[in-house]
Amino acid sequence: HVKSSGKNGYQFFQEQMNTDFSEEFQIQTELREAISTDVLELYYQPKLSTDEQQLVGAEALLRWNHSSKGQISPSRFIPIAEKFGLIFDLDQWVLEHACKSIRHWLNRGLQVPPISINLSALRLRQKDLVEQVEHCLQHYQLDPAYLVFEITETAEMQDILQAIEVLARLNLMGIHIALDDFGTGYSSLTHLKLLPMQQLKIDRSFISDLTSKPGQAEIVESIINLAHALQLKVVAEGVETEEQLAHLQKVRCDEVQGFLLSKPLPEERFVQLLRQYSAG
């Protein structure tokens, strides 16, 4: 593309790159500010057991309410935060806010299921991650069983031995680990038995084609059987139709998450759900 369009094409390419960069740079500047003001918010998406559809957990998902651009998606700003080294402060903000909310819910007498937090793979390389987590749990007087960390295998996780060590230390504390977006990107079968973890989340892309694409149902069933053989719980992400849910029940997927069951909810709405759950 660049070669064939000659000098002008190259110049265009350069300009495009500069525009992308300055836009990203602006986002990171504003994001830095957002962390210290209160425009970030956590939403919670319920996780249900596949059979009885009981609330078995929830995933905390970051939302950024930008003053002029509206809500910016984490799939846009998380990669920028990773690129500019802001992810450490951002994920620490999420950890603290989630712990603070859990403590608050418990104080109100609510029954709280484990809350999953997404952890950037970059954070597994952070020297004091385990200490920060310990400190946060201590500060809010929380049992580690209230937390699950979701990690995605990425290029950043090249140092598998280091990742194993950090995850094992978190496990020892009593925090469960889930492997997110399984089946995409860098996920590898070898790592499945090496990484200390308790849950495997099948990526949404497998679920959306589950009942339409030939062979997809077989792949999903094999992933579930493999995970069960390794004593892992399986969570299906992105369940959107009754048909998908029925199929997941048939192949004994343990837990489901998706718009069919519930969208990610703002905190007040999630608390309403916790109230029903605690009363029932």
Binding segment (CB under 6 A) for ligand C2E, from list 32-40, 134-142, 258-266, 271-279: 258-266
Which of 178, 264, 270, 274 binds ligand C2E (CB under 6 A)? It is 264
Question: 158-175: b or e for each residue (b if 16 or more CB lie within 10 Å)?
Answer: eeeeebbebbebbbeeeb
Count of residues binding Mg ion (CB under 5 A)? 6
Residues 172-191 contacting ligand C2E, CB under 6 A? 180-181
Which of 74, 113, 144, 183 binds ligand C2E (CB under 6 A)? It is 74
111 φψ region: left (φ > 0), alpha (ψ -120 to 50), beta (else): beta
112 to 49, 189, 241: CA distances (angstroms): 15, 33, 27
Exposed (0-12), middle (13-18) or buried (19+): which is 220, by Cβ within 10 Å?
Answer: buried
Which H/E stretch holds residue 209?
none
Rounded least distance, CB 2 to ligand C2E, Å: 31
Q: What are phi and psi of 178, to 5 degrees?
A: -120, 140
Q: Extract the tokens encoding 32.
A: 């830095």
Residue closest to Mg ion (Cβ):
150
Asked whether position 150 contacts Mg ion by CB under 5 A, the answer is yes
Greatest alpha-carbon span in the chain: 69
Q: Are 195 and 177 in contact (CB under 8 A)?
A: yes
CA-based Rg of the chain, rounded to a whole angstrom? 20
Asked whether position 238 contacts ligand C2E by CB under 6 A, the answer is yes
Residues 171-190 contacting Mg ion, CB under 5 A? 180-181
Binding pattern for the stretch 1-40 against ligand C2E, x by CB under 6 A and - elsewhere: ----------------------------------------
Asked whether position 259 contacts ligand C2E by CB under 6 A, the answer is yes
* Contact residues for Mg ion, defined by CB under 5 A: 118, 150, 152, 180-181, 237
Q: Which residues bind ligand C2E (CB under 6 A)?
A: 45, 61-62, 73-75, 78, 91, 94, 118, 120, 150, 180-181, 204, 237-240, 257-259, 264
